[in-house]
Amino acid sequence: MPQKLMVVIPCYHEEEVLGETSRRLLLKMQSLMEKGLCSTESRVLLVDDGSKDRTWEIIQRLHQENPLFEGLKLSRNRGHQNALLAGLMTARKHCDFTISMDADLQDDMDAMDRFIEEYQQGCDVVYGVRNKRDSDTFFKRQTALGFYRLMKALGVDITFNHADYRLMSRRALDGLAQFHEVNLFLRGLAPLVGFRSGYVYYDRNERFAGESKYPLKKMLAFAVDGITSFSVKPLRLITMLGFVIFMISLVMLLYTLVSFIVGHTVTGWTSTLASIWMIGGIQLLSLGVIGEYIGKIYHESKRRPRFIIDTYANAEDAPPVKDE
Ligand code: UDP
Ligand code: MG
């Protein structure tokens, strides 16, 4: 028996692409249903992440024209990860498995067939992995590579070149629901959920229309979030650095005492100044890193909701789910 699929798509200011995206999705869903890869009850859940343009109107219209499309409107802009989580947590109550992807048609829809084949063979999580990054700028490619390497060095288990194009079974989503962190980095959480996982390789295209909603500033914040949410190694490095500097200071102490006894006390302006600046810099940097973690604790301890749902437009008009 084919199972019910829900494709979850976060949308923020996507009025330019939604028309084409929905047109292609409709064809894709029909073909999946015909092949028996998903049930005829399957749906596409478009999550409007508090857009100020016509995104929600378009979603509503799509829903009225065809019940295949459902809409979920968040009360305000909460960012890609939260919007995706809101969609997944809503979908898990209504389907057997989900596939998450971006609205901009960068992820190749034809890979979905292979996702579902992996699922049918018993995988609870299937990661979509990009073959190559030709469509990205040189800068984005290099920074992404650097980020993955850094994550790996810090001991975080993430899949190289996997963004958020991913299949998750209801079991895996129920697992994900048990992670209550406010600092969300879903691609890092999925491996922590566990279960059998598979990989599907695909080519990533260019954004169909509109601009990237991830400018450099957001990208950096996302990277810092990813690291500090999954690794305390930076804190350990600071401890090690402190230890090394302490060792050096012992040598310096010896050196200054000997200099004092020998009578060379006037010289040393350069070394004094250099060490003040260096130690000062290292201390500030270390405090900053520690502060990052304290900031995280601060956010987590408040346990604010990660998303609030305004409207859920679906066929049965079920009440919206809460963020538990
Ligand atoms: N997005 C969102 N909320 C935001 C920013 C982005 O829901 O605050 C959505 C956006 O509509 C898209 C996906 O997240 O479907 C990925 O964004 P984008 O394609 O701009 O990122 P990029 O591919 O450039 O990394
Ligand atoms: Mg994109």
Q: Are residues 146 and 239 in the same domain?
A: no
Q: 């305000």: which residue's tokens?
A: 76
Q: Which tokens sit at 275?
A: 């060490």
Q: Are residues 182 and 41 in the same domain?
A: yes
> Which ligand 1 atom lies nearest to the CA of residue 103?
15
CB of residue 106 inside a 6 A radius of ligand 1 = yes
Q: Are residues 135 and 279 in the same domain?
A: no
Q: What is the domain range of residue 10? A: 5-211+304-313
Q: Are residues 15 and 98 in the same domain?
A: yes
Q: What are 42-83's pLDDT values in tens digits?
A: 999 999 999 999 999 999 999 988 989 999 999 999 999 999
Q: Residue 196 has what pLDDT?
A: 92
Q: Residue 231 has what pLDDT?
A: 80
Ligand 1 mean position, distance from CA 13 (Å): 9
Separation of first and last alpha carbons in the chain: 31
Q: Are residues 146 and 274 in the same domain?
A: no
Q: Are residues 26 and 175 in the same domain?
A: yes
Ligand 1 mean position, distance from CA 3 (Å): 28
Q: Residue 316 has what pLDDT?
A: 67
Counting ligands in written order, which one lies closest to the CA of residue 21?
1
Q: What global pTM score does this model have? A: 0.75
Domain membership of residue 216 (yes or no) is no
CA–CA separation, 73 and 64 (whole Å): 15
Q: Are residues 309 and 287 in the same domain?
A: no
Q: What are 146-172's pLDDT values in tens digits?
A: 888 888 888 787 888 888 999 999 999
Q: DSSP letters along 221-284, please?
A: HHHHHHHHHH--HHHHHHHHHHHHHHHHHHHHHHHHHHHHHHT--S--HHHHHHHHHHHHHHHH
The protein residue with its alpha carbon nearest to ligand 1, atom 25, reads 214
Residues of the chain with pLDDT under 70: 133-135, 264-265, 267, 315-324
Q: Are residues 198 and 97 in the same domain?
A: yes
Domain membership of residue 137 (yes or no) is yes
Counting ligands in written order, which one lies closest to the CA of residue 10?
1
Q: DSSP letters along 48-82, please?
A: E-S-SSSHHHHHHHHHHH-TTEEEEEESS---HHH
7, 8, 9, 12: residue to mutate for ligand 1 pocket, most atoms within 8 A of CB: 12
> Which ligand 1 atom lies nearest to the CA of residue 106?
23
> Which ligand 1 atom lies nearest to the CA of residue 47?
7
Domain membership of residue 83 (yes or no) is yes
Helix axes of 186-193 and 216-230: crossing angle, nearest 10 degrees: 30
Domain membership of residue 75 (yes or no) is yes
Q: Residue 70 has what pLDDT?
A: 94
